[in-house]
Amino acid sequence: MLAGEPLPGWSGRFLHSANMTFALYDIAAGAAPLHEHQHEQEEVWHIVEGEEQVLGAGCIAVVPPDTPHSVRPLGACRAVTAD
């Protein structure tokens, strides 16, 4: 498992399998937004902890393939992603 800070305020641990990448992010209050981008594969976000917002704690979102998306943290939170 690798660890890193891909963006200011985004601390993560990453696991790469043959076909997917899993990430566990601890996102700080005031963290940088994740720019709009897209993937050829779908991406799944599971918000584990944080204030209820557009995606609050316990929410899961599936971003379909080739769909532009971005993330703007509204407060400190923890999220798991798979793509």
Q: Where are the domains of the chain?
A: 2-82
* Pairing mode of beta strands 21-27, 10-16: antiparallel
Q: Using one digit for the tens of pLDDT, what is the confidence trace for 39-72?
A: 898 888 888 776 556 777 888 888 889 988 888 8
Which among 72, 78, 79 is positioned nearest to 30, based on CA atoms?
72
pTM over 0.85: no
Task: Say which CATH class 2-82 falls into.
Answer: mainly beta
Q: Using one digit for the tens of pLDDT, what is the confidence trace for 4-38?
A: 999 999 999 999 999 899 999 999 999 999 999 99
Q: Residue 13 phi/psi, 5° resolution?
A: -120, 135
